[in-house]
Chains A and B, each alone.
Chain A
Amino acid sequence: MVERVLLKGNIAIAKGAIAAGCRYYFGYPITPQNDIPEYLSSELPKVGGTFIQAESEVASINMVLGASAAGARVMTSSSGPGISLMQEGMSYMAGSELPGLIVNVMRVGPGLGGIAPTQGDYFQATKGGGHGDYFNIVLAPASVQEMYDLAIKAFELSDKYRNPAMILCDAILGQMKEPVALEEAEEVTLEAKPWALDGSKGRKPQFLKTLYLSDGEQEAHNLELKEKYDRIREEEALFEGKGLGDCEIVVVAFGTVSRIVKTAIQMARKEGIKIGMIRPITLFPFPASIIRETAKKIPRIMVVEMNTGQMLEDVKLSIENGVKLGFYGRPGGGIPTPEEILKEIKVMLDEEGF
């Protein structure tokens, strides 16, 4: 029996994490994600888990690293300024191949910015973010249901590839309420982690590190990581396609913006304009091939984001020459309206002589 409840996005992530078997949370207060630590501080003890309010985000991510090294499912959450402080630990997690979930409920920046929603942390999330040659697995929910589902998915992918995973959402998704179908609670059995520092006997010496000093050792490690990222690119890209069968133009948008684009699509259909949409659900791996293939048939792409053009670069890299590419962005807390998006699309179609 699937239970449907009305939930805030932040709480849905926390519930998803518990359903996935996450029993440890370390974090530091920052708006607009405080519901997550508050909820988990009261819920984790009930399931035998532990919550610690750390002394900083730097501490949080390194506590995540420690619990992960001991084999546990563990998470932290924050927003832009705090996520920047966590980049050090995330780089070490990627380097020593430790799983864990980091939630970024984006707020505007650079700097302290404000608490309004944005998609301005796309580059930081999808291009590594910290020092060194690595990638995080990045999932971008667009509904409260997905906040729950993708939290579970993030833990699965993170463990499967021994790589940090991030949920990249924003203040709107974190704060709004929608009905969510919750999975039936059952005991989660995690796969064995033979690499973990768990005191198991009869093992080879276990040593987790990110330092490789011998000649060629670091390069070999980096190439192994690359092979892993290539496998993730090959096997894990997720997207939602809408109206791609008969459209004249395709909009690429993720997260909150994709919801607004859906309204614009409905408005356009009433005027006889056919707009399709590709919504990347995984931002790393980026669903490049569906965009490439779609653009071969419909060579007009419009990227809409709540920033000044970040995912735009990945779309550019995905398409071949001859595709007309447009962009509409609202940064700094500005939220595009369906009317604005439709207007931009009409301008682009007019230029093409439609």
Chain B
Amino acid sequence: MVKEVTKLIHKYLRHDKKFPHVWCPGCGNGVILGALIRAIDRLGLEKDEIVLASGIGCSGRMPVYVDFNTLHATHGRALTFATGIKLAKSSLTVITVMGDGDATAIGGNHFIHAARRNLNITAIIINNQIYGMTGGQSSPTTPYGCYASTATYGHIEHAFSIAELAKTAGASFVGRGTVYHIHLLEKLIKHAIVKRGFSVVEVISNCHIQFGRRNQMEDPVTMLEWMRDHSVTVEKAKDMEAEALKGFFTIGILADVEKPIYTEEYTNIQKRAKLLNPL
């Protein structure tokens, strides 16, 4: 098993640079990177065919470590430059990795419009409920009443659900996993990459350093146990009363709908434009 993991690392990581990585010991980002690499490997994708684009934050370090075509650019804008890349080179598999603040605060507008537009792009959003890299400030997913470096008396804003936001905005595929349920996570990422259309995987992850420490979960194990104890699979949740679901979040496939993707629609536009107004 260890051998297998090492082989994959050598195959996909830029192991000649930037290591050791910047993530804190026990960070969920490594688990997510591992799941992403295994998903790509099992799908048999060539690394040259993949673009991994990120925003800024701890999640933004991911493109530094993997040997795909990678783009590490502006905070909140990963989906906009992914849109540009996908249109200019539609044959590439375009994946973005963002954090919760990255994708839903500064990049929130891009996120809902990317979902509405339905390009064939995969968005992995790591939700650790906090701005980790900058020192534990509250984010749009910091739960009500929790503590952050900018919410020292308890957070009085209400968190929104990234997965529900994606569904409402029109994403073709929406999944939610955690870094505790690693097999499910790999499956969701695989599904999202294969799915034709805008696909979102929200990953509940642990930032025990910035979030946990301020909220009585200061080690990674406690946080992983919290995920285990507060998640319910979509299948199980179906048979549960709303009252019983209070305090739990669902994991699994939350939406999987068929709709025409943007580039297909645009190819039709190109045909129509040429037919109606030949040059």
Which residues does A use to contact B, with CB under 8 Å?
Answer: 24, 26, 42, 45-48, 50, 52, 54-56, 58-60, 62-72, 74, 88-89, 92, 96, 185, 197-201, 203, 205-211
Contact = CB atoms under 8 A, between A and B. Distances in A.
Contacts of A66: 53, 71, 80-86, 88
A71 B89 contact: yes
B279 interface: yes
A54 B87 CA distance: 13
Contacts of B46: 201
Given A42-B273, A46-B273, A67-B87, A59 B74 contact: no
26 contacts: A46-B278, A50-B87, A52-B87, A52-B117, A54-B113, A56-B109, A58-B80, A59-B110, A62-B84, A63-B87, A65-B73, A65-B74, A65-B80, A68-B84, A70-B51, A70-B84, A70-B85, A70-B92, A74-B88, A89-B77, A92-B74, A197-B70, A197-B71, A198-B69, A207-B63, A210-B72
Interface residues of B, number: 41
B48 A211 contact: no
A206 B80 contact: no
B256 interface: no
A5 to B, nearest CB: 14
Contact of A207 (B64, B91, B92, B272): B64
Contacts of A68: 84
A67 B53 CA distance: 13
Interface string B240-279: 0000000000000000000000000010011011100111
Contacts of B273: 42, 45-46
| Interchain residue pairs A-B with the least CB separation, the first 3 | A66-B84, A66-B81, A62-B80
A237 to B, nearest CB: 31
Contacts of A63: 80-81, 83-84, 87
B164 interface: no
Given A45-B269, A59-B113, A211 B84 contact: no
Interface string B86-121: 111101100000000000000001100100010000
B67 interface: yes
Contact of A24 (B14, B88, B278): B88
A211 B72 contact: yes
A84 B273 CA distance: 33
B21 to A, nearest CB: 13
Nearest to A63: B84
B264 to A, nearest CB: 12
Contact of A58 (B71, B73, B77, B279): B77
A72 B109 contact: no
Residue of A55, A66, A74, A200 contacting most chain B CB atoms (<10 Å): A66
Contacts, number: 141
A62 to B, nearest CB: 4
Given A197-B69, A199-B48, A72 B113 contact: no
B88 A199 contact: no
A203 B269 CA distance: 35
A46 B278 CA distance: 7
B73 A96 contact: yes
B235 interface: no
Contacts of A24: 84, 87-88
A66 B273 CA distance: 25
A129 to B, nearest CB: 15
B225 interface: no
B49 interface: yes
Nearest to A201: B48
Contacts of A59: 77, 80, 109-110, 113
Most chain B beta-carbon neighbours within 10 Å: one of A92, A197, A203: A197
B89 A46 contact: no
A58 B81 CA distance: 11
A93 to B, nearest CB: 9
Contacts of A201: 46, 48
A321 B270 CA distance: 60
A67 B72 contact: no
A106 B98 CA distance: 35
B276 to A, nearest CB: 9
A199 B84 contact: no
